[in-house]
Amino acid sequence: MADTKREIERKYEATPETRLPDPGRVPGVSAVVDKGVVELDAVYYDTADLRLAAASITLRRRTGGSDAGWHLKLPVAPGVRDEITAPLSDTVPRNLASLARARTRDAELVPVVRLRSSRDIRHLLDGDGTLLAELSRDTVRAERLTEGGRTAAWDEIEVELGDGSDPSFLDAADKKLRKAGLKPAASPSKLARALVDTAPQGEHAPKQPAPRAELDPGTAGGQVLAYLGEQADALLAYDPAVRRDLPDSVHQMRVATRRMRSAFKTFRKVIDRSVTDPIGEELKWLAAELGVARDQEVLTERLKSRIDAMPRTLLLGPVRGRLRLWSVAHGSGARRKAVAVLDNKRYLALLDSLDTLLADPPLLKAARGAAARVIPAAVLKDYDRLAGRIDHALELPAGEARDLAMHDARKAAKRARYAGEAARPTLGKAAKKFAKRMKAVQTVLGDHQDSVVAREALRNLAIQAHAAGESAFAWGLLYGQEEAAAAQREAELPGVWEEASAPKLRADLTG
């Protein structure tokens, strides 16, 4: 079993002569407990081309101290990492390797650096004896384990926040340490410094995977490529979050796939769709596979909230029990299936395709054009597409044909919104406002589509209840509520669209 904790820390440069100020003078500290010196021996693993290091991820096997074992550290924010641990073993634990697989793909994890540290530890306690932070002074000896590597040694000081302590304590400690002359460490981690200091002779930086293409940010190609890179990064960042079943992770990963697919279509005059279309199809597949769990979860919560709001006198039969059975039947093993998709060779091949695309993008002539000219034209084309679909939907009478037309309009609204978001670096506030209006349209249309899906589920639940000899009365009432909700959204759409289609909104995009 793996355990997880949030690591929040600050690191400082030091020499053997560096003297620490009295930590007892930091506001909030009532006692300083000397925990002595421990000897730590850690071997860090990575691919031969240091893919984990490039993503600021560390994987190590460490002995000594109170937390001997395997540690995988995933970046959350500057100075903040999630540390997932596993017991000591001779080989990399499969669960930790899985969490890093989006980065490593099929490459072997090998020992790259060994760090041996003498750590002098002090615990900083508050008046209740609660650990505020651990202050440590490390004497580090680093050894590169790959061919041509060297050795290095240095001292550093680290302040790690105690579990549950207020992060502002680190600011108070930082103020005291800086006043005493300490400077923040230049490297974000011991491994990062070791990779530089122990690099083979003549190598000034760690070897990294193939770099992404760099284009003039003032060109359309530069803007589009930067946006696609952001979505690819989001996909990689949310991969371990999905594997860990963190809240909203599946949704955010799907959003990244949708934004990228949308950008391929919106900026088809900038980047060649004969190359991006096959990648878009794979992104569509990934979003659909991941969506099994997410869509069922959202639908179940919608129906549950409606049931909870109904008077008890109207809940005839085992309504909640029937919903539970239905939800389990449709969602059983969904998370396991999602993780299996992320280990699928098809998914890993998709990640490879994205790497290739960003390293050698198939740019078209318009990519060389000024972003301020090319980007607005692409956004407005998506708006025109949405306008046509809205007009068509509003012309239809209520019924299945209108439901389908509004669903098509919802997808167009989402694409127009994403186009506006992608244009923000170029168009600033005008793009932000445009995207906000498109989101409002998308929300109304999305709520309408959710009602369509809910009605189909309620019909099936009513059929199951009837077949089991239960009353279908409550399911019929809920169906009627969803019909009313859909009608309300249809009534709201013209007003929301009137605001979103204001000529000034579009005029501001072109300056």
- Alpha helix stretches (DSSP H) within 161-204: 168-179, 190-197
- pLDDT at site 31: 96
Under 8 Å CB-to-CB from 239, ≥6 apart: which residues? 101, 102, 253, 342
The average pLDDT across 244-267 equals: 94
**CATH label, 3-197, candidates 2.40.320.10, 3.40.50.970, 3.40.50.300, 1.10.150.120:** 2.40.320.10
pTM: 0.90
Find the helix or strand (DSSP H, E) in which 156 lies. Answer: strand 151-161
Token pair, residue 194, equals 């070791």
Fold of 220-510: CHAD domain (1.40.20)
- pLDDT at site 297: 80
Q: How many CB atoms lie within 10 A of CB 323?
A: 21
Q: How many CB atoms lie within 10 A of CB 219?
A: 20
- pLDDT at site 34: 95
The average pLDDT across 224-232 equals: 97
Residue for token digits 């540690």? 71
Q: How confident is the model at residue 1 (pLDDT cuts 50, 70, 90)?
A: very low
Token pair, residue 358, equals 């960003």
Nearest to 433 by CA among 423, 443, 442: 423
Count of residues making up the chain: 511
pLDDT tens, 32-59?
Answer: 999 999 999 999 999 999 999 999 999 9
pLDDT tens, 10-28?
Answer: 999 999 999 888 999 999 9
Under 8 Å CB-to-CB from 15, ≥6 apart: which residues? 155
Contact present, 24 and 32 (Cβ < 8 Å): yes
What are the phi and psi torsion angles at 122 (to 5°)?
Answer: -130, 135
pLDDT tens, 406-455?
Answer: 999 999 999 999 999 999 999 999 999 999 999 999 999 999 999 999 99
Cβ-based burial of 382 (10 A; exposed 0-12, middle 13-18, buried ≥19): buried
pLDDT at residue 180 is higher than 60: yes
Sign for the pseudo-dihedral over CA of 21, 27, 31, 37: negative
Nearest to 405 by CA among 387, 415, 417, 390: 390
CA pair distance 174, 186, nearest whole angstrom: 15
Q: How confident is the model at residue 292 (pLDDT cuts 50, 70, 90)?
A: confident
Token pair, residue 229, equals 């890179």
Angle at 209 between CA 203 and CA 215, to 5 degrees: 100
CA pair distance 142, 138, nearest whole angstrom: 12
Domain locations along the chain: 3-197, 220-510
The average pLDDT across 69-92 equals: 95
Nearest to 213 by CA among 204, 205, 221: 221
SS (H, E, C) 102-143: HHHCCCCCEEEEEEEEEEEEEEEECCCCCEEEEEEEEEEEEE
Token pair, residue 22, equals 């009295």
CA pair distance 216, 43, nearest whole angstrom: 41
Q: Residue 429, SS3?
A: helix
Token pair, residue 109, equals 């994890």
pLDDT at residue 293 is higher than 90: no
Contact present, 375 and 269 (Cβ < 8 Å): no
DSSP 226: H
% the chain with pLDDT above 90? 86
Cβ-based burial of 511 (10 A; exposed 0-12, middle 13-18, buried ≥19): exposed
Q: How far is CA 185 from CA 54, 150, 157, in A?
A: 19, 21, 9
pLDDT tens, 363-393?
Answer: 999 999 999 999 999 999 999 999 999 999 9
pLDDT tens, 342-362?
Answer: 999 999 999 999 999 999 999
Token pair, residue 81, equals 């990492």
Nearest to 225 by CA among 359, 380, 347, 54: 359
DSSP 19: -
